[in-house]
Amino acid sequence: MTQTRNLIDENGKRTDGRTIDQLRDVKITVGTVKNADGSAFIEFGKNKIVAAVYGPREVHPKHLQQPDRCVLRCRYHMSPFSTDTRKNPAPSRREVEISKVMRESLEPAIMLEDYPRAAIDVFVEVLQSDGGSRCAGITAASVALADAGINMRDLVAACAAGKVDEQIVLDINDVEDKEGGADMPIAYMPRLDQVTLMQLDGKLNSEQFNECLDKAISGCKMVYDIQREALMQKYFGNETEVKEEQ
């Protein structure tokens, strides 16, 4: 992608008013889907995404069962009204690919061997999309998995960085995604310091590559704080320390 117009003005402001190191507003609400075992609703900039987890539960059809670990199934899907032009509800190739990389970004964090012969289903539904929906989806899915009480080694936080106007910027939005120079989404386990998803779309030289990766990781760490805050808020209210009674 080669840019055709400037997306950052003389004052360093991007199309949505942010500076190059600024994350969009992120808000996570835990437990919004009543029937699910775990769920989270995320607003990541203008993205509005629901993640729901069912599991561990029985595998149907039975022959897909695995004897020593659980089967993880992920579906990333966009509602027809979520994009600028209406999207056909049938799964597109893009959704199929994102479902796969999403599953692969969450598997390293989940202790699959704790649930032999069972399935864990993760459903991510994009209600409104605005660039970076796969990162927002993974972030919400990870919170939903924790809400469901599934054993995990760590949370997975995701964020993208990219190249816009030859500068490396944090958390690219829809316009920057469509018209910018490069897009690098990352998913990361903060405690374990491990990357579980990484893709690149666009051109970067070595220096830009490293800067982009570092910037995306710093974005993931900011996102992690928000995930943690949301979970603590739902489960422990405003209490930070376990109170003793006497």
Partner 1 sequence: MHDVKRLYVIPGDKIVEGNHRPLMNVVKSGNALIATRIGIAEAGRDGVKVIPLSGVYIPRINDLVIGKIVDHTSLSWEVDINSCFSAHLPASDVFGRDFSPARDDMGKHLAVGDMITARVLAFDRTRDPMLTLQDRDLGKIATGELLKISATRVPRLIGKRGSMIQTIEQATHTRVLIGQNGIVVVTGRDPEGINQAVKAIRMVEEEAHTANLTQRIKALLNVPDSPQEGQNDGAKPQEMAESATERTEGLEVESEK
Partner 2 sequence: MSTSKRSTIIVEHLRKQQMMESIGKGKRIDGRNFDEQRPLEIELDIIKKANGSARVKLGDSEVIAGIKVSTGEPFEGLEDKGALIVTAEVLPTASPHVEPGPPDEEVVELARVVDRGVRESEMVDLGKLVLVPGKIVYTVFVDCSVLNADGNLFDATSYATVAAILSAKIPVLEMQDGKVTDTGKTIPMPVTCVPISITQVRIGDAVMIDPASEEEGAMDARITISTNEEGYCALQKGYTGSFTIEQIKKAAETARIKGEEVRAKMKELTKFGQKE
Binding status of residue 146 toward partner 1 by CB under 8 A: yes
Quickly list DSSP for 156-199: -EEEEEEEETTEEEES--HHHHHHSSEEEEEEEETTTTEEEEE-
Token pair listed for 77: 């899907």
- One of 35, 205, 238, 240 touching partner 2 (CB under 8 A): 35
> Of how many residues is the chain composed?
246
CB of 184 to partner 1, least distance (A): 24
Q: Is 32 helix (H, G, I), strand (E, B) or coil?
A: coil
How many Å apart are CA 165 and CA 183, to the nearest integer?
A: 13
How many Å apart are CA 8 and CA 158, to the nearest integer?
A: 24
Per CB under 8 A, contacts with partner 1 among 7-66 are 37-38, 55-58
Residue 7 vs 150, nearer CB to partner 1: 150
**Residue carrying the six token digits 């080669």:** 2
Residue 137 vs 219, nearer CB to partner 2: 137
Residue 147 vs 183, nearer CB to partner 1: 147
Binding status of residue 39 toward partner 2 by CB under 8 A: yes
Residue 147 vs 171, nearer CB to partner 1: 147
**Residue carrying the six token digits 């995306």:** 216
Residues within the interface to partner 2 (CB under 8 A): 33-36, 39, 46, 48, 50, 52, 54, 57, 60, 75, 77, 79-86, 89-90, 121, 123, 125, 127-130
